[in-house]
Amino acid sequence: MPWFAGVDRKKILWYPTVDPNACVRCGICMNCGKNVFEWGENGIPRVVRPYECIVGCTTCANLCLGNAISFPPLEDLREFYKKHKVWGAVKKELIKTGKIPK
């Protein structure tokens, strides 16, 4: 599925950052289904696989007990999708594969 319409995932700046001063070490981020985080030696989670993060997902930030996880502004992502015509390309592929009607 071409979720990014041929755009290299590494060009899409969407992944979490952790504020070590706000982190309460609750560990909820370690529940990420894409294994974006690893527990650091200093007891603070680290983002080690940023491009595995699902674009648009903010579950870890929503559930972080210390509100230590943040993402780039959603509007920046929407502008990127608009500029690179991602929405149209994805819709075309969804029609082609029969996931949505013409």
CATH number at residue 90: 3.30.70.20
Report if residue 63 sits inside a domain.
Answer: yes
CA dist 87 and 84 (Å) reads: 9
- Answer yes or no: are the C-beta atoms of 45 and 23 closer than 8 Å: yes
CA dist 30 and 40 (Å) reads: 11
Decide if pLDDT at 100 tops 50.
yes
- Count: domains in the chain: 1
Share of the chain above pLDDT 90, in %: 80
Report if residue 4 sits inside a domain.
Answer: no
Report if residue 1 sits inside a domain.
Answer: no
Predicted local distance difference test score (pLDDT) of residue 31: 96
Report if residue 48 sits inside a domain.
Answer: yes
**pTM (two decimals):** 0.87
Report if residue 102 sits inside a domain.
Answer: no
**What average pLDDT does the structure give for the chain?**
93
The 10s digit of each residue's pLDDT in 37-58 is 999 999 999 999 999 999 999 9
Supply the range of the domain harboring residue 38.
9-96
Report if residue 101 sits inside a domain.
Answer: no
